[in-house]
Amino acid sequence: MNLALAGMVILAIGDSHMFHLMTTLHDQLEEAGAAVHSYAMCGATAQDWLSRSTVSCGRGEHHEKGAATIDYKLGPTYGIADLIEKHHPNLVVVELGDVMEGYSSVAPDHSWIQQQVHSLTGKIAASHISCVWVGPTWGEDKRPYNKTVNGTRDISQLLAGSVAPCRFVDSTTFARPGEWPTKDGAHLEPDGYRRWGKAAADAIIRLKSQGALTAPSPR
């Protein structure tokens, strides 16, 4: 058994994709020896983890080897500072990007996205915790989300240059565009989430083995 992450406490946060990744990515990180606490908020941007508001379409969580729970009712957002205080992680994994990109006919506001990203990564860095940001994977140009190849590439490139001091995991390298079918243009079929979770976990394990997950100094 490969326990490459033994002794680590990992806090994983994300948008609606995390509803699925908290039973794929989560389990892969647990199998590598980490104690993992995963939280998902439907429709979340980076800013939603920093200021109190209401979750628009549900939230969920999964703790270590317990059962994952999802509540689709309206409720308060999770706060990154509260979760760090509660779990004392030495690694935060962030999965965000699709909601901020939007995939609409209107070009996204890059400065707005960067400001949100810098605020979230700065909050994590201020706690002297290492961080990995997992970017979006490919989708399909079909209703209702109409996720495009160019849009996915655009937000991935923007995040790659914006998430420091977090390490960036480029999920577009895990498959070809259209290789993983979706239910609605954005959310993958179960096998896609299994593949994405496995690939992201493997990338995190590689970063750990390379000594790339040291705690950053606050900016």
- Give the pair of three-digit tokens for residue 104: 């609409």
Q: Is the pLDDT of residue 184 over 70?
A: yes
Instruction: Please give the mean pLDDT across all residues of the chain.
Output: 94
In this structure, how many other beta carbons lie within 10 angstroms of the beta carbon of residue 107? 10
pLDDT > 70 in the chain, percent: 98
The C-alpha torsion from 194 through 4 and 39 to 181, rounded to 10°, is -20
Q: What is the pLDDT of residue 219?
A: 47
Strands 9-14 and 59-63: unpaired
Q: Is the pLDDT of residue 215 over 80?
A: no
Taking only the tens place, the pLDDT of each residue in 76-130 is 999 999 999 999 999 999 999 999 999 987 888 999 999 999 999 999 999 999 9
Taking only the tens place, the pLDDT of each residue in 2-14 is 799 999 999 999 9
Q: Mean of the pLDDT values across residues 32-53? A: 96
Q: Is the pLDDT of residue 73 over 90?
A: no
Angle at alpha carbon of residue 158, lines to 152 and 160, rounded to 5°: 100
Instruction: Could you please state the CATH topology (level 3) that the domain comprising 9-209 is classified under.
Output: Rossmann fold (3.40.50)
DSSP-H helix ranges across the chain: 18-21, 25-31, 80-87, 98-101, 110-126, 149-160, 190-209
Residue type, 86: K
Closest CA to 95 of 50, 51, 49, 139: 49
Side-chain half-sphere exposure of 76, counting CA atoms within 13 A: 7
Side-chain half-sphere exposure of 145, counting CA atoms within 13 A: 21
Q: Where are the domains of the chain?
A: 9-209
Q: Is the pLDDT of residue 217 over 80?
A: no
Q: What is the pLDDT of residue 105?
A: 76
Q: What is the pLDDT of residue 1?
A: 54
In this structure, how many other beta carbons lie within 10 angstroms of the beta carbon of residue 204? 28
